[in-house]
Amino acid sequence: MRRGRRWALPVAVGVLILAAVGAAVIASVGNAGRRHRRAALATTQRPPHKPKPKSAIPDGISFKGSPKVHIRLRPRAAGGLLVDLDTGHVLWSHAPFAVRPIASLTKVMTALLVVEHLGKRANAKIGADALHYTGSEVGVLPLGKKVPVTALLYGLMLPSGNDAAVALADRVAGSDQQFATLMNKRAKQLGLRCSHFSSSYGLQNDNQSCPVDLAALSRVVMRKPRIEKIVAAVHVNLPFPIRGGRLDLWSHNPLIRLRYPGTIGLKTGFTDAAGRCFIGVARHGNRTLAAILLNSPDIGGQARQLLDAGFHALGV
């Protein structure tokens, strides 16, 4: 019995040591498994890459240098930017990379593609698609007749005709959907990383962009003489195959209505989701500035504030 007791204690201690070692091994394996599962989960659930602001700046736009404009808009727009269209230098910005619906600012890209694909004397046949529209309109497009593309461009950019946009999209690409594919391809070529288009006219909420992309697009568009001439117009009366033989169009540009000196463009937009949007362009002397506003409570007044401050900073 004494010999049995002498062996019992070491055996019990050994069993306890082995049990502890086994538990440690099991815990280690379990922890490693959990770490592996967490790593795998993190890999599968990692959010998509979003470009940093610096990598999202399109070519030709720069936030460096001076002068800078220091102004606070009250109440604020959801996003905005003041840019020198000649140099690409940004003088003022608020949420310049904020991606938002842009409503009829979409038509700036539409106009660019039209002048890049169609000549000055081109015509477009008005199909049924162009007459099935909502929102702003030219309103008198003659079904089945050929009309000048230039007249449709005026209808696109001055009164913001959705019917004109669809007619032009059909002429360029065969359908509005195919035209939107061309819009997105062109946006990629221009390095517009915020921008996406699903129609030629912009009523859908997934027609999106950001102030910095719109600044880069405005620089390209305002260098197209055909577009520059159209968007500077206050009023046009054009030959058109309708009763009376003339098409009468007026600009919706609020800077023109405010008689802001030097106004030469560019485009308004509005939907409930986008709010009031505007790209306002003015030229004083040899300097051209663009004020870009997304979801602004007062597109005309705030654009005028920005342009006044910008021209003052530039000494013109």
For residue range 107-152, list pLDDT tens digits in order.
999 999 999 999 999 999 999 999 987 889 999 999 999 999 999 9
CATH code, domain with 289: 3.40.710.10
User: Are residues 87 and 3 both part of a single domain?
Assistant: no
pLDDT at 22 over 70: no
Phi, psi dihedral angles at 76 (to 5 degrees)? -70, 150
Q: Tokens for 10?
A: 């070491």
Contact 296, 77 (CB under 8 A): yes
User: Are residues 31 and 171 both part of a single domain?
Assistant: no
- Locus of tokens 């593609």: 113
Q: Tokens for 171?
A: 């002429």
Q: Considering only residues 35 and 83, tell me which one the structure prediction assigns the higher pLDDT.
A: 83
The per-residue pLDDT for 67 is: 85
Characterize 75-93 residue by residue with b for buried, 16 or more Cβ atoms within 10 angstroms of its Cβ, and e for exposed.
eebbbbbbbbbeebbbbbb
User: Are residues 89 and 20 both part of a single domain?
Assistant: no
pLDDT at 242 over 90: yes
Give tens-digit pLDDT for 171-208: 999 999 999 999 999 999 999 999 999 999 999 999 99
Give tens-digit pLDDT for 53-65: 666 899 999 999 8
User: Are residues 6 and 109 both part of a single domain?
Assistant: no
pLDDT at 36 over 90: no
